[in-house]
Chains A and B, each alone.
Chain A
Amino acid sequence: KAGVTQTPRYLIKTRGQQVTLSCSPISGHRSVSWYQQTPGQGLQFLFEYFSETQRNKGNFPGRFSGRQFSNSRSEMNVSTLELGDSALYLCASSFDATNEKLFFGSGTQLSVL
């Protein structure tokens, strides 16, 4: 059974650009959540989607957005990139609406120059 797949693995952008990250959950999983990981702030929750609906959102500015498709794949978008957006972005999927078992991808390392 394939795990959670995130693409691309590495990304380099410049300030002001926008970026789209992709996450393919484990087959059959309907919940996808996104986290930002930085050395200073640790792991912070961005948002969570279940059956194409955003159910939870963390305390991030509106430049951070996401969506989920009917096949449960998810994308997150960051517009007008800032240096502070440099981070490892992790996606996690689970079968149902609980946190009983989250499966994480290896992440997308975003560097903003």
Chain B
Amino acid sequence: GNSVTQMEGPVTLSEEAFLTINCTYTATGYPSLFWYVQYPGEGLQLLLKATKADDKGSNKGFEATYRKETTSFHLEKGSVQVSDSAVYFCALDVYNQGGKLIFGQGTELSVKP
């Protein structure tokens, strides 16, 4: 079936460190891929997306490239800030007909000053 696997957290980094959160997926067809972020006490916010192979999504210094050959969509940021502390979710959409996203377990990121 369709699934998303993320690296386990929590991930603890110092400010200005490089961030990678791994995400791999299993899906039939050609899914769209997403990264969502959840700050404490809030709902999820779309961080970035990619809809086809080799697309690179980017936003707020975060990037992820849709790699079909390795079925991966790793999230990266060159220099994290304390304000990036949150839980990050990788997700896929196979059906592209609304609503049904399949999420990974989430990776908690904690950035220390």
Contact = CB atoms under 8 A, between A and B. Distances in A.
Interface residues of B, number: 25
A112 interface: no
Contacts of B89: 43
A45 B93 CA distance: 12
Interface of A: 4, 31, 33, 35, 42-43, 45, 47-48, 50, 55-56, 58, 90, 92, 94, 96-107
B88 to A, nearest CB: 12
B93 A99 contact: yes
- Main SS at interface, chain A: strand
Contact of B100 (A45, A96, A101, A106): A45
Nearest to B51: A100
A99 B103 contact: no
